[in-house]
Amino acid sequence: MNNYPKESAGKKATLNVPTCHSKDSIKEVRTKIIENSNNIETFNYVYVLNDEKKLKGVFSIKKLFSKKDNLLAEEIMDKNIVFVHPYTDQEKVAVLAIKNNIKAVPVIKKDGTFLGVVPSDKILDILHQEHTEDILLSAGIYKKDHFSEKMIDTPAKTLAKIRLPWLIIGLFGGIAAAQIITYFESTLSEKIILASFIPLILYISNAVAIQTQTLYIRNLAINSFAQKDYLLKELKISVIIGIVLSLILFLISIIAYKDFIIATIISVSILLTIATAILMAMAITWGLFKMKLDPALGSGPFGTIIADITSLLIYFFVASTFLSYYI
């Protein structure tokens, strides 16, 4: 299995599992497993093969010891096999195991040839590895090999070198955001209260984007679906969320500031910001996915920078438009 990519099903698979021929009797299968028990890594299932070593079915060890001796393997095997191909990403293997409630996932070639299985201990390792990787990527740390349980032993210089790139990009993103605020300084001077809502606009934008990315990444990993249908559904969600939050903000602003213009600017900005945040979150995630990069990277500093700048532009554009028209 050394010829397959590091994070593929083929690389994680083992051939040291119980197998039998479809014409073997239950008694023969039991004897064979007992005789070879020292060479078997996992005892969850028995995999049924034909003369060409192609996977035809599977049954549990529990079923093996509960059936009569004279029955054949092909008579008790389950033909509805959950399987993966050797180049399948390891994360999809783990998700498939959880989704189908199975302890091991068989790996086969396109012609059906049995290559082995990804056992339960490897599935647990994959889940831990992917979880750690996603957490680090969301923080803009992409060289995860340095962040093991022995991170404390890694030199400070090495850790700083890993963490700095996205922080530097974030720094320039912050400078860009500051320039946007400076550019619209005249707008803020007309209604200084608008400045106090900048943190709220940025928070809502980032919160909605993170929600969208999290759910979208999960669906990309687990399900196959039409992108157009998913996009339309998210747009409907953005309209519902946007209207609810906009109405709440409008009422609060009217009560607190008794200013219809301010209330309208904030409400419209929130509505547009939410819709844009959802669209951009999906676009970034899908783009990273198509480029064979981990979509979780988009939920970190990269996504935050884009969301912040876009939200500020929308907010000040709406404010400038309304103020120039009504004042």
- Classify 143 as helix, strand or coil: coil
What is the Cα–Cα distance from 129 to 46, expressed in whole angstroms? 28
Does residue 223 surpass a pLDDT of 70?
no
For the domain spanning 155-326, the CATH number is 1.10.357.20
Cβ atoms 92, 16 nearer than 8 A: no
What is the Cα–Cα distance from 190 to 172, expressed in whole angstroms? 28
Q: Tell me which of 51-65, 113-127, 186-200, 310-324 is least confident.
A: 186-200
Q: In the numeric block, which tokens belong to residue 49?
A: 């093969």
For tokens 């609060």, the residue is 252
Which pLDDT band holds residue 146 (cuts at 50, 70, 90)?
very low
**pLDDT of 144:** 53
Does residue 11 surpass a pLDDT of 60?
yes
Q: What is the mean pLDDT of the chain?
A: 85
**pLDDT of 315:** 93
Does residue 99 surpass a pLDDT of 60?
yes
Which helix H or strand E contains 138, and what residues bound it?
helix 120-138
Taking the CB of residue 310, how many other CB atoms lie within 10 A of it?
Answer: 18
CA angle 83, 85, 91 (to 5 degrees): 80
Domain ranges of the chain: 9-126, 155-326
pLDDT tens profile 272-289: 999 998 888 888 888 877
Does residue 162 surpass a pLDDT of 80?
no
Q: Is the pTM of this model over 0.75?
A: no
- Rg (C-alpha) for the chain, rounded Å, is 28
Architecture per CATH, 9-126: Roll (3.10)
Q: Tell me which of 79-93, 147-161, 262-276 is least confident.
A: 147-161
93 φ/ψ angles, rounded to the nearest 5 degrees: -60, -50
Taking the CB of residue 262, how many other CB atoms lie within 10 A of it?
Answer: 21
Cβ atoms 294, 138 nearer than 8 A: no
- Stronger pLDDT, 48 or 146, i.e. the higher one: 48
